[in-house]
A and B are shown apart, each in its own frame.
Chain A
Amino acid sequence: MIPSQFDYVKPASVDEAVQALVQAGEDAKILAGGQSLLPVLRLRLAAPSVVIDLGGIPELRTISDDGDRIAIGAMAPHHDVLRDDLVKQHVALLAQATSTVADPQVRHRGTLGGALAHADPAGDLGAVALALEAEFVIAGTSGTRTVTAADFFVDYFTTAIGEGEILTQVRFPKYTGWTSHYEKFNRTAQAWSMCAVAAALRIDGGTIAEARIGLTNMGTTPIRATGVEQALVGQSATADAVRAAAEHATEGTAAPSDADAAADYREHLARVLTGRAVLAAAG
């Protein structure tokens, strides 16, 4: 199908983009990589009057070392993120999860910021951003503000990005020397996660000193499995200890029931995949 008619704007700076967004009002849509928006437009699930393409703002694609953080432009394509040396060295979990997103064609176009702003609870990158305590830089008419990952994900397809605001950058603290793994469960190629677990560990002398665990598709937003994290700290990463800690994985979750899986099956998956993710991260 063909999208309904819209006006197209391609601003050359973030300021211009914010102005265009304010002018267009609530009927506007931001176009990042377009890999979720274009299908939605084609199926006419959305019919914006104006589409604002951020593809003309090169600085939104940069990935840089920002001291104690890695700063990733919101328009950095998945393909760039997962191959970037800074990301692989300091935020390996993000590179690992990004390599599982959709398929190569979609990873060439789709962007980190677009995926996070879209906030599909089955999307893979929200759980990583939440577990790794990323910061979101959001630009509006009165300048920029920074939102923590815990405050960014509000609800199903809903984030802290307000009207007239644009996500410009996502900053990840450095997890240099941590080990990590993203364990994704789906049944067919390029399918969304039925459930997935993001795990990062700091292991010191054979003992888990710190743990970060995020869950994908176990509620209306990504979920941080703090119960698992607490149970892991101080343990050595044996199969028994990890499985015992993984029993906490469903605490605070509200798994959906849909055509892919019933809630109780997702809860089972969350426990099993948490065990696998942590053991794989521990090596």
Chain B
Amino acid sequence: MAQVRVTVDGVNYADDVEPRMLLVQYLRERLGKTGTLIGCDTSNCGACTVSLNGQSVKSCSVLAVQADGTEVTTIEGLARDGQLHPVQSAFNECHGLQCGYCTPGMIMAAVDLLGDNPDPDEHEVREGIEGNLCRCTGYQNIVRSVQRAAQLMKPGASVPTETPAPVAGGN
């Protein structure tokens, strides 16, 4: 057993885990954070994307012990006081999903992208979500959603009712 001390969605945890436990298993099975999904066995799909110290990672490709001492934000930690994060609002507004399976990872990747590049053009959005597969939408509405989120997150934007919540750790 190895010990992991980690902050997840603002809450501190200390747990003994098997070294082979994946971060995604720890989040889902130990902490009950089932908003983070497992979509593949090959590290391709990105459904399990979370933020680790402010950077997007595929939580199937990180050991839980490697997250020791870090701050993790999952899709469940994005909303603040019942208000959706602007990226979540934009996906809702622009219908950036059909079945929804890729959505948690897609939103976490989009949050990371917009932290890096607050005003991406279409090509930059497509490059930025390259690590996330969607088998329903053809990506069109996802790209629109990310660009809409960029508008909502602009300083002084009048459209959103909520203020953008920074991801833990910042970028």
Binding site for B on A (CB under 8 A): 1-8, 10, 31, 34-35, 38-39, 41-43, 51, 53, 55, 79, 102-106, 108-109, 189-190
CA distance A86 to B108 in the complex (A): 30
Cβ contact within 8 Å between B41 and A34: no
Cβ contact within 8 Å between B22 and A109: no
With A103-B130, A104-B128 known to touch, is A38 a contact of B20 (CB < 8 Å)?
A: no
Q: Which of B8-16, B52-60, B82-90, B151-159 contacts A (4 or more CB under 8 A)?
A: B52-60
Chain A residues with CB under 8 A of B128: 104
Q: How large is the interface on B (under 10, 10 to 19, 20 to 34, 35 or more residues)?
A: 20 to 34
Q: Mark B55-81, 1 if CB is under 8 A from A, else 0.
A: 111101111011000000000000000
Contact of B131 among A41, A51, A79, A105 (CB under 8 A): A105
CA distance A230 to B131 in the complex (A): 39
Binding site for A on B (CB under 8 A): 2, 18-22, 25, 41-44, 46, 49, 52, 55-58, 60-63, 65-66, 109, 112-113, 128, 130-133
Name the residue of chain A whose CB is nearest to the CB of B21: A2
Name the residue of chain A whose CB is nearest to the CB of B65: A8
With A8-B2, A79-B55 known to touch, is A3 a contact of B62 (CB < 8 Å)?
A: no
Contact of B20 among A4, A55, A108, A109 (CB under 8 A): A4
CA distance A50 to B16 in the complex (A): 18
Chain A residues with CB under 8 A of B61: 34-35, 38-39, 105-106, 109
Chain B residues with CB under 8 A of A103: 46, 130-132
Contact of A39 among B43, B52, B55 (CB under 8 A): B43
Contact of B19 among A6, A35, A55 (CB under 8 A): A6
What 4 new A-B contacts, CB under 8 Å, besides A103-B132, A104-B131, A106-B43? A39-B42, A104-B109, A104-B128, A104-B130
Contact of A102 among B18, B60, B63, B131 (CB under 8 A): B131
User: How far apart are A52's CB and chain B's nearest CB, in angstroms?
Assistant: 11
Interface of B is mostly: mixed
Contact of B66 among A39, A53, A105, A189 (CB under 8 A): A53
Chain B residues with CB under 8 A of A51: 19
CA distance A258 to B46 in the complex (A): 26
Cβ contact within 8 Å between A5 and B43: no
CA distance A190 to B49 in the complex (A): 15
Cβ contact within 8 Å between A2 and B22: yes
CA distance A275 to B133 in the complex (A): 32
Chain A residues with CB under 8 A of B63: 8, 31, 34, 38, 53
> Which residue among B2, B21, B43, B60 has the maximum number of chain A CB atoms within 10 Å of its CB?
B43
List 21 interface pairs A-B (beta carbons < 8 Å), by A numbering. A6-B19, A7-B19, A8-B65, A31-B63, A34-B63, A35-B43, A38-B43, A38-B60, A38-B63, A39-B42, A41-B20, A43-B41, A53-B66, A103-B131, A103-B132, A104-B109, A106-B61, A108-B57, A109-B58, A109-B61, A190-B130
